Structure 1
Amino acid sequence: MHSEETNLNEFVVSELDKFQFPYDYNEWNKIDRKLNLKHRNNLIVKGLVITSVAGSILLSSSYFLKSDKNSQPERSVEVLINDSVQDAGNNLVSVFSENNPEKFISETKQENNVTTIAEDYPSPVILAETNTLTSEKIVKEEEQSESKEILQNEIDLIPYFNTSEKSGCSPLTVEFVPYEKAEDIIYYWEFSDGSSSTEKSPSYTFSEEGEYFVRLTIKKFKKEKLFTWTAEVPVTVYPSPEADYEQISEKNPYEFEAASVPQGTYQWQIGKNNISGRRLKYVFAEEGLYDVAMTVVNENGCKSTTSKIVNVTDLIPFQKPTGFSPDGDGINDYYKPLFDESTIIDYNLQIYGSTGMMVFETNDISKAWDGKIMGSDKTAEFGVYVCIIKVKDIYNVTKQIKYNITLLK
């Protein structure tokens, strides 16, 4: 038995000395590129190559020995693992048949740093390493990466967009928001009124009534393929009414009327008061400047508002003579302020002399001063007198009026 082992060792050494592995520069260059893995020790890679070659030689030799010695029983060949390739050898897990790579043949057995391979198995052609990427895996991953990059570049863009408004009253401002948002996308918006925009999310104002279609075209920067979509439902712009009115009267009650033909409902606002109707009658309690606003709303719910400043004066108009001459000639012998008596419900007239003494008073709007001092037949002296009137009309408007008159000779 010892003799047979000696002969076997001598045969292996002899065969190894005679063996010459064919050298092909191109093939080795390909292997070197494929095995150029990042973060791997070059020594381990070279150890794998050496282990593969040595394993092929030993298995081939074993196969020929078996052919010459058919009478000998099946045996195993022990291959000592060199320290430099120990870690790589420990990671080998499977061997595939040369004729059928898909068929699993055997598993290596790790026992005391020795890998045992059955002699009657054909030479291995692929060594798979559990913790190391093979060259085939690298190539496949590179191809997959390139395929993903090509696929990413060929993905179609979606030119859809949303609008802040589908319809509204003119002028209507609509914001357009695209589905695709990226810095490397070129946007081109077209509006059926002839306008366009290259903004990502433009805000556009439609001034006139009508239906407007909007189309978006997008493309990747430095790419040729265009993607276009036109919204199926147009943006509908309804007409807005024209708000304007006229002032018909300039005394209480003040009257206002919408200037345009009937367009819907009307709402007036004066201060905190709101009144409906196309025609407005309004009583002002005090004189001054007032903002009179009118809003009209049409059948589409569109509205328009206008306002004007109204100057309210002479709420209780009257005529006031500046003087009279109570000399009995029948001409201008009496003094009386002139009001529209049909509108006055409360009245008081007081006349004072220069010394502050009251010379006349009456609550009768029809009564006039004859020039005599109140309570006597004595005519007041010639000169300037002060008239004070307190009056209230049928609209509950009150007014106090103070002015001077002259008593003439």
Structure 2
Amino acid sequence: MTQPINPLVQNLEPDRILTFQKSLSQFSDLVYLTFGEPGFATPEPVKAATKAAIDADRSHYGNSQGEPALREAALAYLADRYQLSYPSIDNLIMTAGVTEGIQAIFKTLLQEGDGLLIPDPAYGSYFAALSLAGGVVLPINTAKANFKLTPELVDEAMASAKVPVRAVLFNYPNNPTGVSYDLEELKALAACFERHDLWVISDEIYAELTYQGQHHSLGKLLPERTIVVNGLSKSHAMTGYRLGLIAGPSEIIQEIQKVHGSSVFSLPTFVQDGAVAAFQMSRDDLDYMRESYQERRDYVADELRALGFELVAPKGAFYLFAKLPDSIQMDSADFAMDLAKNGGVALIPGTAFSMFDEAKRYVRLSYAADMATLKAGLARLKAYLNDK
């Protein structure tokens, strides 16, 4: 008799973004404004260091936690960019991208049935990783506060929780909304998280793509209970290198490393050498990306508003979470499919990021693509809406 499959896997909902993207394969000649794929090549110093490592036969097993030289470079980077001061490289783990890092954290922190607060809307992979860890999602509907998490919303969620709540997953600048937080807002949230005795998983992968003001890390405000997640995919256009990082108190990092090391014996050593070069690049050497994204954001936001969309004001990342014009009576999933079929433009429905009904009126547009692609997509979107 065939043994049953793990129910956690059987009941796992496929990633909604990937599922929707796959459904678009039936259409040809689409302008894709969907994935958060940086519209730039990986910087030359990174490519040169990676090539040199390959030529030097840096292709054997390395340290599972990350080569010491890489962790030293990451430690210096976090101190320079975000004033995060960790005692040693033992406070860091280099991961196979942020997604693997999040999974390792969940499996370390959460026991079966533990609750995790997740401000909603949120990146869809969080929910799958939580299910596989046996955790319970406790979504917080941030639509009630202009898509920002507030202490009041956290208090409400904690008061209504039916399971033990272990932690909160806090992503800013946020995917899909692009919202971020100033220092006073973060201080208020840090005090709230501490009052509720929560671990904070602070996903700051878009920190370098902050357009208004400075990015402040919760790891600095609440160092004893914050696990910072970051990486190079978005800031350095290195999505294919699959390299992220986890930083936090050494005692919890030591435990997370047990989980990480059981699934990732070693990251490619030549990739790690390229990442050292990335961490050592100055902020000035990367300004061209952030400045270009801001220009694209402003252009796309103006065009969408002119077409009747309402926008969440994005302060970072490279997404616009746009509310459909009143003239569109479809929900976001039907609209996105019809737009692909009849308008030749691919957007992601808001329902791919949310468990609440408000998302049925929203779509996410990525402005990471180059300006020519953005203009082509918006021209098609305008023509589509004019035909409605």
Higher-Rg structure is: 1
Greater share of strand: 1
| More relative contact order, 1 or 2 (CA 8 Å, 6+ apart) | 2
Report the TM-score when normalising by structure 1.
Answer: 0.16
TM-score (norm 2): 0.16
Higher-helix-fraction structure: 2
